[in-house]
Amino acid sequence: MDIKITKTTAPKPIPKDDSKLGFGRVFSDHMFIMPYDRENGWHNAEIKPFGDISLSPAAMVLHYGQEIFEGLKAYRTASGDIQLFRPEKNFERLNVSAKRLVIPEIPVEDAMQALTELVKLDKDWVPHSDGASLYIRPFVFAVDPFVGVRPGDYYYFIIITSPSGPYYSTGLSPVGIYVEENYVRAVKGGMGYTKTGGNYAASLAGQDEAHKQNFSQVLWLDGVERKYVEEVGAMNIFFVIDDEIITPVLEGSVLPGITRISAIELCKKWGYKVTERKISIEEIARAHNGGALKEVFGTGTAAVISPVGVLKWGDNAMTINDDKMGDISKKLYDTLTGIQYSKIPDDMGWVRKIKF
Ligand code: PLP
Ligand code: COI
């Protein structure tokens, strides 16, 4: 794929203090953009200065939400290399989302090339400090000016990047999570397994309520029986009960997280018993009452491994592991970030170094 590159003539100052970055607020100098139409397919790939795009107010995405996205990170190692973590998995998942939302797929090699060229051009925007990284947001949406309901004929694929610190302002301290019983996020047959804006729009009312009660995020239950645990707003969820590590099985309503599968693979390699199965919130409360619930943690690109210190279900606020990070969570965090920043050997072959 040919990519036309236009460099900015007005580079922005690169933030010096990584500790003040926060998450997703600052954007680097360039973006990748590629249009699609039925006649030409994906064409005219371009990297250009980050800036506003112009859309018709009738653009279909604004009305019916035909949009998909991904989230991954570029990490700077101590020796100055810049590298990605299992990026092909993100673009494979983007295409799974594309199928569900009737969006034309993007060849994984083309998406990888676009991402690599963009990160190379904005390499100075990859933060230097531990725990900070360049968050990468690829997304695709329908732009036809049409107010009828049908799949679009015209799309944009855009990648923007954002130097970011930890997703939660609390960093590695355990988060408080609120079990949502009124709203549901997704149901089987719906779009839960995809990364599409609509899933996040559906989650906002619950998240708002959780924030009002001083909880960081919502733990979603299944949309039919409201009994089985699904996932958290921006993370998959794991429970350590006695010596078993349990995470909800993927049945179409949960996002198949790349951190989730990586955590499963690592824990299995370490010899833990890992089970993907349905787990009800009652079972978790019972385990907690009986002292068997040892750890709860979330997994996600933005959140990495995030220990859950308090899980609130109705009137029952369960404190887990004394509101401290548990041993398995810590080992996973150290290993994943160790691999991502090349502090430990990448035995799993997960890292893709960007070649300059
Ligand atoms: N679940 C949801 C709803 C998410 O938004 C995310 C974040 O991407 C995840 C789970 C974790 O997925 P991953 O590990 O691929 O980032
Ligand atoms: C991610 O972990 O990459 C996410 O997309 C989470 C979020 C910011 C929606």
The per-residue pLDDT for 289 is 97
Computed on alpha carbons and rounded to an integer, the radius of gyration of the chain in Å comes to 21
CATH 3.30.470.10-classified regions of the chain: 4-164
Q: What is the DSSP letter of 324?
A: S
What burial class does residue 113 get, using C-beta atoms within 10 Å of its C-beta: 0-12 exposed, 13-18 middle, 19+ buried? middle
In tens digits, the chain (356 residues) has pLDDT values of: 999 999 999 999 999 999 889 999 999 999 999 999 999 999 999 999 999 999 999 999 999 999 999 999 999 999 999 999 999 999 999 999 999 999 999 999 999 999 999 999 999 999 999 889 999 999 999 999 999 999 999 999 999 999 998 777 777 889 999 999 999 999 999 999 999 999 999 999 999 999 999 998 999 999 999 999 999 999 999 999 999 999 999 999 999 999 999 999 999 999 999 999 999 999 999 999 999 999 999 999 998 999 999 999 999 999 999 999 999 999 999 999 999 999 999 999 999 999 99
Query: What is the length of the chain?
Result: 356
Ligand 2 atom 6: residue of nearest CA: 234
Question: Can you tell me which atom of ligand 1 is nearest the CA of 89?
Answer: 15
Both tokens of 122, joined, read 């904005």
Ligand 1 atom 10: residue of nearest CA: 235
Q: Compute the distance from residue 146 Cα to the ligand 2 centre, in Å.
A: 30
The per-residue pLDDT for 112 is 98
- pTM higher than 0.75: yes
Pocket mutation for ligand 2, best pick of 139, 164, 167, 216 (most atoms within 8 Å of C-beta): 167
Q: What is the phi-psi region of residue 128: left when phi exceeds 0, alpha when psi lies from -120 to 50, beta otherwise?
A: alpha
The set of protein residues with a Cβ atom below 6 angstroms from ligand 2 is 71, 234, 300-302
Pocket mutation for ligand 1, best pick of 136, 255, 266 (most atoms within 8 Å of C-beta): 255
Q: Compute the distance from residue 137 Cα to the ligand 2 centre, in Å.
A: 9
d(CA 169, CA 156): 32
Segments in the chain forming alpha helices (H): 60-64, 87-100, 108-121, 197-212, 258-269, 281-289, 327-340
Question: Can you tell me which atom of ligand 2 is nearest the CA of 235?
Answer: 2
Q: Compute the distance from residue 124 Cα to the ligand 2 centre, in Å.
A: 23
Ligand 2 atom 7: residue of nearest CA: 234
Residues forming a β-bridge with 241: 244, 293
Question: Can you tell me which atom of ligand 1 is nearest the CA of 90?
Answer: 15
CATH 3.20.10.10-classified regions of the chain: 175-340
d(CA 50, CA 131): 25
CATH of domain 4-164: 3.30.470.10
CATH of domain 175-340: 3.20.10.10
Question: Can you tell me which atom of ligand 2 is nearest the CA of 167?
Answer: 8
The per-residue pLDDT for 2 is 98
Q: Compute the distance from residue 22 Cα to the ligand 1 centre, in Å.
A: 18
Q: Kindly report the backbone phi and psi dihedral angles of residue 242, in degrees, each rounded to the nearest multiple of 5, phi listed first.
A: 50, -120
The set of protein residues with a Cβ atom below 6 angstroms from ligand 1 is 71, 231, 234-236, 255, 257-260, 299-301
